[in-house]
């Protein structure tokens, strides 16, 4: 199997939305009922990621099996962190958002981290308190819990950071 990461393009939108639907089902089946509500992430959000050159797909043998956003700082919702602090707060960073994949595809988080850490040594990520699968992957891959941030909807997220190299 050949796994590749490439920038997403508008022609990928239907395949990306299929991946998002599969990822939502994984979340809901694991008890994470509130992180991605109906309509999120929308096509408009994916197109906005593309406009910022931060939308990526992962393909296995040419088939889109995952999506993620990799966006440069500053991330407005990360400006205030509660019950903790960002290490390397003075350094630029990239944020990983919207990691999604099919349930039968494995190693996606590792692929995302390998790709992203080759582009920027300081990576931040956040997830919902109920997303135990993502929390496990984040900690397994060496991220440090930093505190709580609030996304634009006003809901809290657990925030993590890792400095590579």
- Residue pLDDT, tens place only, 97-115: 999 999 999 999 999 999 9
β-pair partners for 66? 58, 101
Q: What is the mean pLDDT of residues 68-97?
A: 96
Q: Where are the domains of the chain?
A: 3-163
E strands present in 23-164: 55-60, 63-72, 94-101, 122-127, 144-150, 156-163
Specify the pLDDT at position 39: 78
CB atoms near residue 69 (< 10 Å): 22
Q: What is the mean pLDDT of residues 7-30?
A: 94
CATH architecture of 3-163: 3-Layer(aba) Sandwich (3.40)
- What is d(CA 122, CA 46) in angstroms, rounded to the nearest whole number? 23
The two tokens of residue 125 are 């990520």
């Amino acid at each position: 199997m050949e796994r590749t990461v490439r920038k997403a393009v508008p022609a990928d939108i239907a395949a990306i939305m299929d991946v998002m639907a599969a990822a939502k089902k994984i979340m809901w089946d694991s008890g994470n009922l509130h992180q991605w509500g109906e309509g999120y992430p929308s096509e408009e959000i994916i197109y906005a990621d593309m406009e910022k050159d931060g939308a990526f797909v992962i393909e296995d043998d040419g088939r889109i099996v995952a999506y993620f956003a990799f966006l440069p700082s500053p991330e407005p919702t990360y400006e205030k962190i509660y019950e903790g602090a960002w290490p390397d707060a003075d350094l630029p960073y990239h944020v990983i958002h919207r990691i999604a994949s099919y349930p039968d595809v494995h190693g996606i988080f590792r692929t995302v981290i390998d790709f992203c850490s080759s582009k920027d040594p300081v990576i931040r990520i956040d997830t919902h308190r109920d997303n135990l699968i993502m929390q496990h992957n984040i900690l397994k891959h060496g991220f440090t819990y930093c505190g709580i941030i609030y996304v634009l909807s006003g809901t809290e997220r657990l925030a993590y950071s890792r400095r590579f190299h």
